[in-house]
Amino acid sequence: MSTQSENASATSSVKERWEPRIERFKRGWSRYTQHKMGVLGILILVMYILWALFPSVFAPHSLEWRAFIGNDQYAYLTLQQKQQLPHPPAFGDPFFAPLGTTKSGEGVLTLLVYSAKNALYIGFAAGILSSLVGVPLGLISGFYGDTWVDETIQRIVDVMYGMPFLPFLIVLVAIRGISTTNIILGIAITSWLNNCILIRGETLSLKERAYVESARVAGASDTRIVFRHILPNVVPLAFVFLAQDAAAAILAQASLAYLGLADFKANSWGMMIETVKAKNHIYDAPWWLIPPGLAITSIAAAFYFIGFSVEDVANPQE
Amino acid sequence: MSRISTRYLAKRLVVSYLTLLVIMTILFVLVRSMPGSFITNMITPEMQPSQVERLREIWGLNEPLWKQYTNFMINYQTGEFGRSPMHKEPVWDVVIRRLPRTLILFGAGFVVAYTVGPLVGMYLGWWRGTSKDKIIYTSGLTMYSMPAFWIAWLFIWLFDFELGLLKSTYMVDQFGIADWTPWLAMTNILHHIALPLFSIAFVGWVGAMLVMRPSMNNVTGEDYVFLARAKGLSERTVMMKHAARNALIPVATQAIVGLAFLIDGSVLIESVFSWPGIGKLLVGAVLEQDYPVTQAAFFILAVLIIVMRLLTDIAYTYLDPRIKFGGES
């Protein structure tokens, strides 16, 4: 009997604890869905996640597929007929490649779909890693503002700011070898600065709020104040930077790929653009040049859209 | 007179100098930890080991690392950058020839981006929530997401290849002009700079806009804006003179981040347009393991960023009279 009532009170306390949070989430969500931009961002992201998870469903061909003519299977054609067939890179039906083919006969759409995985992996991994470095450092730096701790962290940030981002990344990748993991690590090492500085600023202002002061007067420890009172207010902001970092990381990887510093075996959109340039088809194969750029733009834009909509939900400006 | 005390300025200068020293140290470590060295590219299979040793001696690679480090630190601060094994001439000559070209392109890009960005941001912040705001803001974010080199190639394809309006390679015409008049040189450079500048500015302005918009929106609620309105000033005056001036402060901070962003952009843009500047030089030097040039290019970019940071802090005091640095209060 007693255990039952205890259970009941336990469940009710769980309910009590979680109900306001669920309620808050629902309110936030309904606010979020008012932003067409944010909803669009989520839709684009979901599409790319589906591409990344089930590429074989969305791609018209497998990765090994090549639209190449002149093989034995075309031996029955006359020379004239062969010449009438489009030569890769080509845009058109005969190869059943909806967006045309590359110089080596791969389907552009197939490559596009199979590259989504790489972009999402780099975006999420680099974004999460740089948040994991930047947010705690920003919190510490802001909370112990104007002490040697803050000073040290800010000097490190100063030094890192003095390094131009992309050249530094190029050197890092050149040292550690060109692989996707190293590119992610390089991006994370160079991109935590903004998180750190902005979270620090937010923490500095939160620290002066009345409720933090009253918690301190009530005898709360530093750890408790940071985790219970400051962190929850910083999390939405951290999420915004996570989304922005993910977008920036995808763009950085594309830039590295364009300079020839990306894993040649991994399919990526940046690599596709690099190949168009390397094979000298910039001017006569727009169907090959434009889609990968649009894919990079749309996935980075999706992350930015989500980030800025979350920011508006977190601190409404009206 | 000035709102910055001499003591504060002196302190900032010392800190900036120390920052530069640390950056140089990191640079030295990074460059030396790249696998192989530029000697590797000079060695041919039929060389004797003694000849290889001789090469190492000539280029100073056989000295102990601490000695190389000390030499590097001392030489760089006296402006002695050494010789480039790739270009076969003193690094200083290579760099000094290219630096103005980068500064022209990149300075122009910076000016355009930080004129357009804050202006657009100002209007968007003032009209926040209207459909005009939403459309411009969303398209701005989309432009921000475009890879700089891709947009540059699209511009080249459209304006140079299809329309034949603008030049897409090099800074001036390579051949053909016998006598340069200043006027001819200027129009020629303008003709060539248009596309790269447009490519940099196309993406670059958004960063400033993103900061200006919320900042402007916060300012609209301030008392002094209310007062200015109550005085019967025109909407335009209130926006330009009273609100925007104060909203510009976060933009000044952002300019530093934007500076780094534009350097990245110009590294890519320079290699797309064969613009003979520092960025193109740097990428080539890293890939060819030309240590002296890599170090010099990094060094100069770092000095540039540090000086700009210092200048921004000084600019703060002029934008907001309330901010004082180390003033005796």
Nearest CB to B150 within list A162, A194, A273: A273
Whole-number CA gyration radius for chain B: 24
Q: B67 vs A6, which has greater pLDDT? A: B67
CA distance A64 to A55: 13
Neighbouring residues of A113: CB distance < 8 A, sequence distance ≥ 6 = A51, A55, A58, A59
**Does residue B306 sit at the A interface (CB-CB below 8 Å)?**
yes
Q: Please tell me the total number of residues recorded for chain B in this structure.
A: 329
pLDDT digits (tens, 9 = 90+) for A166-222: 888 888 888 888 888 888 998 888 888 888 888 888 888 888 788 888 888 888 888
Query: How far, CA to CA in Å, does B53 sit from each of A178, A279, B36, B39, B49?
Result: 30, 40, 15, 10, 6
**Does residue A304 sit at the B interface (CB-CB below 8 Å)?**
yes
| B40 Cα to chain A: minimum distance (Å) | 15
Q: Could you list the pLDDT tens digit for every one of the 329 residues in chain B? A: 455 677 878 888 888 888 889 988 988 888 877 766 666 666 667 777 777 777 777 777 777 788 888 888 888 888 777 777 777 788 888 888 888 888 888 888 888 988 999 999 988 888 877 888 889 999 999 999 999 889 988 988 888 887 877 776 766 666 656 667 777 777 777 888 888 888 888 888 888 888 888 888 888 778 888 888 888 888 888 888 778 887 887 787 777 767 776 777 778 888 888 888 888 888 888 877 777 888 888 888 888 888 877 887 777 766 666 655 554 43
B89-90 vs B83-84, strand pairing mode: antiparallel
Nearest CB to A167 within list B156, B157, B282: B282
Nearest CB to B145 within list A171, A259, A301: A301
pLDDT band per the 50, 70, 90 thresholds, residue A318: very low
Amino acid type, A256: L
Mean pLDDT of all residues in A113-118:
90
Asked if residue A269 lies in contact with residue A119, where contact means CB atoms within 8 angstroms, the answer is yes
Closest by alpha carbon to B150, among B111, B207, B203? Answer: B203
Closest by alpha carbon to A86, among A63, A104, A69, A99? Answer: A69
Site from B16, B24, B142, B150 to mutate, A interface, most A CB atoms within 10 angstroms: B150
Nearest CB to B23 within list A162, A247, A283: A162
3-state secondary structure of B4: strand
Q: Which two tokens stand for residue B222?
A: 């301030």
pLDDT digits (tens, 9 = 90+) for B159-215: 888 787 777 676 666 665 666 777 777 777 788 888 888 888 888 888 888 888 888
Find tokens 């300079």 and name the residue. A259
Find tokens 């640095």 and name the residue. B325
Question: Which chain B residues are Cβ-neighbours of A259 within 8 angstroms?
Answer: 268, 271, 283
Is the pLDDT at A93 greater than 70, yes or no?
no
**Does residue B219 sit at the A interface (CB-CB below 8 Å)?**
no
Closest by alpha carbon to B23, among A36, A171, A144? Answer: A171
pLDDT digits (tens, 9 = 90+) for A46-80: 999 999 999 888 888 778 777 655 555 555 666 66
CA distance B287 to B277: 16
Closest by alpha carbon to B19, among B299, B266, B321, B278? Answer: B299
Binary contact (B214, A308; C-beta < 8 A): no
Binary contact (A171, B31; C-beta < 8 A): yes
